[in-house]
Amino acid sequence: MTQAFRLPTGGIIDRSRPLRFEFDGTAYEGYAGDTLASALLANGVHLVARSFKYHRPRGILCSGSDEPNALLQLDRGARTEPNVRATTQELFDGLIAASQNRWPSLRFDVGAINNALSRLLPAGFYYKTFMWPPTPRWWLRYEHFIRRAAGIGRSATAPDPDRYEHQYAHCDVLVIGGGPAGLAAARAAAHAGARVIVCDENPAFGGDLRGMNDDGSNIDGKARATWIDEAVRDLSGSGDVTLLIRTTAFGYYDGNLVALSERVADHLAAPLAHMPRQRMWKVRAGTVVLASGAHERGIAYAGNDLPGTLLAGAARTYIDRHAVRPGSRAVVFTNNDSAYAAALSLSRAGIAIGAIVDAREDSELTGALAVRAREHGIRIVSGSMVPAAHGSKRVTAVDIESLSGGRGTRVDCDLVCVSGGWNPAVHLFSQARGSLRYDESLAAFVPERSPLAIVAAGGVNGCSDVGGALADGHAAGLNAAAKAGFRGPASYAAPHAEPVAPGRLRPLWSVPARDRSGKRFVDLQNDVTVSDIALAVREGYESVEHLKRYTTLGMGTDQGKTSNIVGLALLAEQLHRPISAVGTTTFRPPYTSVTLGAYPGEEAGAHLEPTRYSAMHDWHVAHGARFINAGLWRRAHSYPRAGETPDDAANREAKNVRTNVGLVDVSTLGKIELQGNDVAEFLNRVYINRWDTLAVGRCRYGVMLRDDGMVLDDGTTSRLADSYYLMTTTTVNAVEVMQHLEALLQIDWPELDVYLTSVTEQWSAAALSGPKAREVLAAVVDIDVSNAAFPFLAVGTCTVRGAAGPMPARLFRLSYSGELAYEIHVPADRGRAMWEALLAAGARYGIMPYGTEAMSTLRIEKGHVVIGPEADGRTTADDLGMGKLVNAAKWCVGKPLLSRPALIAPDRWQLVGLTALDGAVMPRGAKIVADPDHALPNPMLGHVTSWCWSPNLESWIALALVANGRARHGETLWAVSPLADAKARVRVRIGPPTFIDPDGERLRG
Amino acid sequence: MLLIPCPWCGPRNQLEFTYGGDATVKRPLPDAPMKTWLEFVYLRDNPRGPHQELWHHSAGCRQWFKVLRDTQTHDILASGRADEALPGATA
């Protein structure tokens, strides 16, 4: 097809650059500068969609982001995207688009049966019909089918191949909208010295003037296009101005944070190599100038949804900007002057105008444009309306009737241009907690006041002519710059355009109904009609928010940009209340839909959160370690050898620690240095046990409580020097503990002389465990590590001899495994050298590295608790068998509430050890019960917290919290796990939690 | 997203901070009665309007400080050191 509806001249399309595209399988051609919508219209394609509920044929209504109908599936393989507005999608070569919500085809759609059945599908149909029988289960059953019937478009199934970016920015003045008002505001603010960002959702600046016929008017004596070019050039040459096109301000948040969505590559077939697909801007603006313009609205008459129906401004845009003839014979239906500009464009394009049907009386048609239209000899039928349009897949005729009654006439046409007035795009002003005022003369809501620094300018304030918008914008720019502290000297004078005297608008929301069959649509995207609103009011939905949810008015992807105000005006009519008393629904972000990928931006996949690696990480990788996540850390789980499963490896590693010696990377432990004169006092207050007795060169295990008495964390603290301590915390709790300690010191006890420094990242650490640990250590350090010289819980410094030379180290005689063990800490960058030195020295003793899985097995065998599984936020120190540690002679955080009756009740769940009997395997997530055959719900006596195969005991063992567990040692109970395995039932023997070396001879030896 | 004026670092994005709750609650002395401790741990007012709160500049200077924030509008009316009385604060 050859663009049969393209005008031979005019427009801002590039006729030398034809672009091929496809719609529903048919090949077409357009030009660079086209939108998908303008290119379809240039080829005479008006029918582009089926409506949501009734599957009615729909065409292109608008020319911008307010479009409710022309939502297409853009097919780009893995980039396929539903609900793309044809009116904003720029045409590119090879674009493939398809219509949605139809089967088997757009022209013949089975779902259109809904239209015939529409009397059975009133507002609230789903709520009314599917609420019986009144059980949620039935609703869930219906919902499945309803959702399928209501589908629009399809989402991609392959992973998103594109990249998205986030960009933070700060400015004194953010100008939203780059039309005449926005450009004037930006220039005024920039010339006053302010740092300015200007964004516009279109591919170029100029707003409603972009590509439009001047029709004899000018700005500062220049053609409008020339003025816009100069303004943009001036701004891009100014010091600190950022110009963003294809960028929509979609959300306004606290602290004047405005979120912008920049569509960097959506106008291309695919992003170029260096491009993200989209960029989300988070702009902190001193002051915002909102120059977002206005959206035209329609008038509800029967058949106002037929393809070939365009808003008057959109028709004018397609003619002027894109050199497209949207029809051959038009009827214009209006209640205000703006449609006359469209009529003049129609006339220039050679489109026959059957009539301008104007709701206003002849005496009201005094505006300059109306006068010009009359001079052009265009037939004006005043005081009249279009009660109905006719046609099936395209409008073929309209009726024209006097508003005061009488017989109508029928006029043939294939294009209806409608204007019911203009709704200022107040969305962001409202999001900025701004109040709105109903302006009777505009019959629209305009910004009133906001507590935030936002100034509205131009069309959003109700300016309908260029001169007014320029002056308003200039003033807003100066005002915004002044708010940010920039008061000139302004070297830039306000731009000037001759004002145009507007004619008064006569509010007309819908025409009277003529018969039952003619649907008068208010919300075209969600198929909400005038009758639906009347019905909702009759049923008692009088609040605008209820009306919205009951009828789904304004709940489509267009968020009701063309329909909301019409809908609430009709609600007001029904209620016989003024529109100002009915009010608007709440405007919420996003202003237009934002691609989900843009929200996480770069923070997806591997970059979802930071990953922390120890200095030994590369060694672990090189030696086949399997990893797990611990907080943000990657830790070695085990080091499987050829033919081993990770569990086999962990069992081998755990066994080797008890028989020979093992080495584990514990760099991830939280490490906090404490310095000052009051550290001992501070430790006394935060740990349950005593610290003022700890000597230099010694360390001690400690438990911290939350204020409610539950265990917060455990770890060891070492006294390195007189007033210099090192605390270790659990890996995953390090951040929380640091914050807790800082709060206590800064808020509660500022008088204590204690300074905290997190040194987790500064030290690499390894634990050397096993009966042969001492021999291995002695081979690499320069101090005496005999039991006499360096006993259990000793702390010291030494030098470790590595292959590349000696390194300073801190040495701690601590044991988590229950074996003779040492922790060696070296400066972080020496971690791998220390690790390799110990492994080399241990080779002759059978040393093996071990991972977190073996470490876990060893600590379960030893009965050591872990924060999380055992200390789960509901357990006290006594529950965990550490009641003795709570020092009776001193106070500590959490102690006052420990004496509450519930925390000392005899049936509290207490830590015990379980041994599986009969050679059974402990099931996952097991509960402890007395009788596994008891009818459900089976009374629970407790639950397993940690469990493992013990290679040293050759049996499945577990730690568990069991009611009054310490008194049950020796009893046999049952472990069941109805969720993991309904058949699982394991006889378990209750005993003390320490399975190995209960007297601690090994670790002290 | 709040813009929180850290008394030490100036206005910063909310993402850098951790909320710490009601700043008017004072930790009781160790020998305070159980009732006082229970109130300290569990009971908080939920005012509509200005509210003195603690915030921690956890991704910044690591200082805990006070903010007077309107819980209805999210407006931040004042901020100051943890040991400072905020102008406009009632408690």
- What does the pLDDT look like over A801-852, one tens digit per residue? 999 899 999 999 999 999 999 999 999 999 999 999 999 999 999 999 999 9
DSSP annotation of A211 reads T
Contact B41 A891 (CB under 8 A): no
| pLDDT tens for each residue of A582-627 | 999 889 999 999 999 999 999 998 899 999 999 999 999 999 999 9
Query: Is domain A164-294+424-483 classified as CATH 3.50.50.60?
Result: yes
Contacts of A888 in chain B (CB under 8 A): none
Whether the per-residue pLDDT at A295 is higher than 60: the answer is yes
Q: How far is B59 from chain A (nearest CA, A)?
A: 11
Nearest to B30 among A451, A746, A891 (CB): A891
Q: A411-434, pLDDT tens digit by residue?
A: 999 999 999 999 999 999 999 999
What is the structure's pLDDT at A140?
63
User: Chain A residues with CB inside 8 Å of B2's CB?
Assistant: 254-255
CA-CA-CA-CA torsion sign (A555, A559, A562, A564): positive
Residue in B closest to A282 by C-alpha: B1
Contact A254 B74 (CB under 8 A): yes
Q: How many CB atoms lie within 10 A of CB A919?
A: 9
pLDDT tens digits, A202-260: 999 999 999 999 888 899 999 999 999 999 999 999 879 999 999 999 999 999 999 99
Output the pLDDT for position A492. 82
**Which of B8, B26, B35, B37 should be substituted to probe chain A, the one whose Cβ sees the most A Cβ atoms within 10 Å?**
B37
When CB atoms are compared, the residue of B1, B30, B83 closest to A254 is: B1
- Of B34, B42, B62, Cβ closest to residue A896: B34
The CATH architecture one would assign to domain A671-761 is 2-Layer Sandwich (3.30)
Burial class (CB in 10 A: 0-12, 13-18, 19+), A23: buried
Judged by CB atoms closer than 8 Å, whether chains meet at A743 and B56 is answered as: yes
Q: Which residues of B touch A255 (CB under 8 A)?
A: 1-3, 14, 76
CB atoms B83 and A254 under 8 Å: no
CA distance A388 to A597: 44
> Percentage helix, strand, coil, to 5, in chain B?
15, 35, 50
- Is B82 close to A256, i.e. CB distance below 8 A? no
β-strand partners of A719: A725
The residues, any chain, with a CB within 8 Å of residue A223's CB and separated by 6 or more, are: A214
A121 pLDDT higher than 80 = no
Structure tokens at A80: 């396929």
Does the distance separating the beta carbons of B82 and A896 come in below 8 Å? no
Element (H, E) at A755: strand A755-758
Arithmetic mean of pLDDT, B78-91: 84
* Fold of domain A298-420: FAD/NAD(P)-binding domain (3.50.50)
Closest residue in A to B21 (Cα) is A743
- Residue A499 has a pLDDT of 86
- Report whether A388 contacts A399 (CB < 8 A): yes
Interface size, chain A vs chain B, as Cβ–Cβ contacts under 8 Å: 57
| Phi/psi of residue A726, nearest 5 degrees | -125, 125
Q: Nearest CB to B27: which of A284, A433, A748? A: A748
pTM tops 0.95: no
CATH number corresponding to A1-157: 3.10.20.440
Check residue A669 and report its DSSP letter: S
CB A668 within 8 A of CB A620: no
| Contact across the interface for B3 and A257, Cβ inside 8 Å | yes
Cβ distance B41 to A707 less than 8 Å, yes or no, reads yes
CA distance A286 to chain B (A): 12
According to DSSP, residue A748 is labeled I
d(CA A337, CA A201) in angstroms, rounded, equals 26
Integer Cα distance of A289 and A295 in angstroms: 18
Amino acid at A46: H
Q: How confident is the model at residue B36 (pLDDT cuts 50, 70, 90)?
A: very high
The shortest CB-CB distance from A746 to any of B64, B75, B76 is to B64
**Fold matches, A1-157 and A617-668+762-858:** no
Residues of B in contact with A168 (CB under 8 A): 13
- Residue A708 has what pLDDT? 96
The domain A905-1004 is placed in CATH, from the list 2.40.30.110, 3.30.1490.270, 3.90.45.10, 2.60.40.10, at: 2.40.30.110
Contact B1 A255 (CB under 8 A): yes
| Best mutation target, B64, B66, B71, B84, to test chain A (most A CBs within 10 A) | B64
Q: Which residue of A has its CA nearest to B30?
A: A891
**pLDDT of amino acid A143:** 63
- In this structure, which amino acid lies at residue A858? L
| Residues in B lying within 8 Å of A, measured between beta carbons | 1-3, 13-14, 18, 20, 27-28, 30-32, 34, 37-38, 40-42, 54, 56, 58, 62-64, 73-76, 82-83
Tell me the β-bridge partners of A975: A928, A986
Question: Which among A434, A460, A432, A452 is positioned nearest to A185, based on CA atoms?
Answer: A460
What average pLDDT does this structure show over A681-698?
97
Nearest-angstrom CA–CA distance, A881 and A910: 7
Beta bridge partners of A95: A21
The candidate with the shortest Cα–Cα distance to A424, out of A441, A402, A409, is A441
Whole-number pLDDT of residue A144: 62
Question: What is the average per-residue pLDDT within A759-786?
Answer: 98
Q: pLDDT category, A53, cuts 50, 70, 90?
A: confident
Alpha-helical segments (H) within B1-85: 34-42
Q: Is A284 in Cβ contact with B3 (below 8 Å)?
A: yes
Question: Which residues from A are below 8 Å from B17, CB to CB?
Answer: none
Q: What's the ipTM?
A: 0.97
User: Largest Cα–Cα distance in chain A?
Assistant: 116
| Residue at token pair 């016989």 | A576
Average of pLDDT values for A987-992? 97
The answer to whether A224 and A209 have CB atoms below 8 angstroms apart is yes
Q: Is the pLDDT of residue A150 over 60?
A: no
Residues of A contacting chain B (CB within 8 angstroms) = 168, 253-257, 282, 284, 433, 451, 707-708, 739, 742-743, 746-748, 750, 891, 896-897, 899-900
pLDDT tens per residue across span A360-416: 999 999 988 999 999 999 999 999 999 999 999 999 999 999 999 888 999 999 999
Q: What is the pLDDT of residues B47-82, one digit of tens each?
A: 999 999 999 999 999 999 999 999 999 999 999 999
CATH architecture observed for domain A617-668+762-858: 2-Layer Sandwich (3.30)
Structure-token match 């009776």, residue found: A888
Nearest in space to A19 (alpha carbons), one of A96, A99, A81: A96
Mutate one of A745, A746, A749 to test the B interface: name it (highest B CB count within 10 A): A746
8 Å CB contact of A896 and B58? no
Residues of chain B contacting residue A708, judged by C-beta atoms under 8 Å apart: 41-42
**What is the SS3 assignment for A652?**
helix
| Residue among B41, B67, B71 with most chain A CBs within 10 A, to mutate | B41
CB A74 within 8 A of CB A89: yes
- Who among A433, A451, A897 is closest to B37 (CB)? A897
- pLDDT at position A233 is 97
Question: Which bin fits B86, alpha (ψ -120 to 50), beta or left (φ > 0)?
Answer: beta
Segments making up each domain of chain A, as ranges: 1-157, 164-294+424-483, 298-420, 617-668+762-858, 671-761, 905-1004
Q: How far from chain centre, in Å, is Cα A279?
A: 14
C-alpha span between A271 and A905 (Å, rounded): 66
CB contact under 8 A, B58 and A282: no
Domains, chain B, in order of start with CATH, read 3-81 (3.30.2270.10)
